Structures are given as C-alpha cells and as structure tokens.
Amino acid sequence: YMPHHAPIWTELGVAALGNPTMRVEIRVTAIVP
C-alpha cells in the first residue's frame, strides 16, 4: 500500500491465447481507507 502514489492501471489486449485451453489469472488487491 502506497498512500502517496496515484493509482496505476495496466491494459493488455490479445487476439487469442497461445493455446485455446489456456487460462488467465487476475489477482486484485483493493485498499479502501
């Protein structure tokens, strides 16, 4: 947690994964003051 830093975001776009059976894991941590 960095209280004096602005939020950051990342965007990633792909037409397809390397293998149709692949999965993507997204992990998010939110801190609400």
Over residues 1-33, the pLDDT tens digits come to: 567 776 677 777 888 878 888 888 888 888 888
- Supply the DSSP string of 1-33, one letter for each residue: --TTS---------SS-SSTT------------
CB 17 within 8 A of CB 24: yes
- pLDDT value, residue 2: 62
The domain tally of the chain equals: 1
CB 31 within 8 A of CB 1: yes
Q: Which domain holds residue 32?
A: 1-33
pTM beyond 0.85, yes or no: no
